[in-house]
Amino acid sequence: MTIDAILLIMMGVMFAAAIYLLLDRTLTRIMFGLMMFTNAANLLIIIMAGPAGLPPIFRDDIAADEYLDPLPQALTLTSIVISFAVTAFILALIYRSWVLARRDEVQVDIEDIQVAEQPTYDAEDDALIADEASEFLEDHEDPNIYYEYTTETNPNVDSAEPKEGDRW
């Protein structure tokens, strides 16, 4: 299988340009970046699929290695549908942003900055909690320590001491 270097270089340039566009705060550029990213991913899938072959319809007189694998085509078609839905959603966001604020730029949110500047505090890790009595065994305890105190009629152990008639 030979892979064309020009297609690989073009795919790399598309990925680089898409990442550059995705890092912008303008929704239109983000949309173009996502479209370019999905097109580069589709190109990658098609490149890795290999050369074209016969349709994947089984016949006895054709060897198995002459068929074309339909999975890359199915993955590409699925990717196209998903990218269309994401593009439609981002277009709706751009339209709504334009109607409300007459701009498609994502604004800096002051509350987000305040939250990001707060010192790190994890309520679960930093809280003072007294040691709890656990229903589970400690690491040094033997899980089968009370096995000899069980009976056929009572397989559970209620206490460490056997009761009268508990032995079988």
Say if residue 139's pLDDT is above 90.
no
List Cβ neighbours of 5 (8 Å cut-off, separation of 6 or more): none
In a domain, 153, yes or no: no
CA 123 to each of CA 57, 120, 127, 134: distance values in angstroms, whole numbers, following the listed order: 60, 10, 6, 21
Residue 105 has φ and ψ, to the nearest 5°, of: -95, 135
The whole-chain average pLDDT of the chain stands at 79
Say if residue 168's pLDDT is above 60.
no
Say if residue 103's pLDDT is above 80.
yes
* pLDDT at res. 113: 84
In a domain, 99, yes or no: yes
Among residues of the chain, what percentage have pLDDT more than 90? 32
Residue 47's domain spans which residues? Answer: 5-119
* pLDDT at res. 66: 73
CATH number at residue 11: 1.10.287
Q: Structurally, how many domains does the chain consist of? A: 1
In a domain, 150, yes or no: no
In a domain, 129, yes or no: no
pTM, 2 dp: 0.58
Closest CA to 39 of 15, 22, 9: 15
Confidence of residue 132 (pLDDT cuts 50, 70, 90): low
- Asked if 73 and 30 count as a contact pair (C-beta separation under 8 A), the reply is no
In a domain, 32, yes or no: yes
In a domain, 162, yes or no: no
